[in-house]
Structure 1
């Protein structure tokens, strides 16, 4: 039986300790310097960054052929690309429209917006859950449900609607 499956000496253990510590410190510094944007509610792009960083960090820890400088470059590149994407989203309305899903009206005037519900694969049960999570007894107490870009529901109670002007920008969704 090959015992290297269980123990291959101290070198790999020390390498993981050193690389893991340096990589973790570098990631924390990068995320700290790029600000809380990366830590806010996750958009699809934030999710991709999180998964990619986790995957890269896992590879750095376990692949003997990955050097510290390669790990630092990989982490820096991923964070820089996220920062560039955030910059483009902030500075270009056209780019923002291209990459951001934007809010979607799911419920209005006592009825689900069927086209939007199908497109986002929601059921009426999901709307009922959103109403309950917002302290409302049923959809009869809800004026509007909007799917936000981060995947959360914005639920506006019927009692807060007034003239309905808050919903007009979403009626085309």
Structure 2
């Protein structure tokens, strides 16, 4: 039988409503239990875990072949792994360097750091856009720009 475009049956709608509410409630409980750090945006690793949690939640709700308890177990696994990674990275400098990047200085007192920019794949136009977003019209020798661990560009004025 073909997959209907607009409506299959009321049982499918009921399944989505029930699994959606239960999976969402389970995710909220797990996130509150695991702490604020689970959904932080400190670095790319954290961002990827957040995207994975959202994708997994949608799979649990929409995909009939994913039973609720198995889906919740998957969410729990990701949260536990995220907790373990952050716990280890706070306690081990070596482990931290494996999973996290460091901020990178791209402009220092108005001088572009070309090697750093190439290494991080950031263009002058992107840096100028960050200046404009911070209300600055042009680069001066009083400005420095840092690529943060979460991928954002911070602009600093030297004093």
* Fold shared per TM-score above 0.5: yes
1:13 and 1:43 map into 2 onto residues whose CA distance is 37
- Specify every segment of 5 or more residues in structure 1 that has no aligned partner in the other structure, as ranges: 161-173
Other-structure match for 1:51 = 51
What SS is found at the alignment partner of 2:121?
Answer: coil
TM-score between both structures, scaled by the size of structure 2: 0.88
2:2 and 2:31 map into 1 onto residues whose CA distance is 42
Other-structure match for 2:151 = 151
Highest relative contact order (Cα 8 Å, sep 6+), 1 or 2?
A: 2
Which structure has the larger Rg over C-alpha atoms?
1
Q: Is the 8 A contact 1:131 1:142 kept in 2?
A: no
How much does 1:109 deviate? 3.7
2:149 and 2:105 map into 1 onto residues whose CA distance is 11
Other-structure match for 1:97 = 97
Cα distance per residue 1:62-97 (max 9 Å; x no partner):
222222210110110011111111101111101111
How much does 1:15 deviate? 1.0
Cα distance per residue 1:86-113 (max 9 Å; x no partner):
1011111011112211010101143111
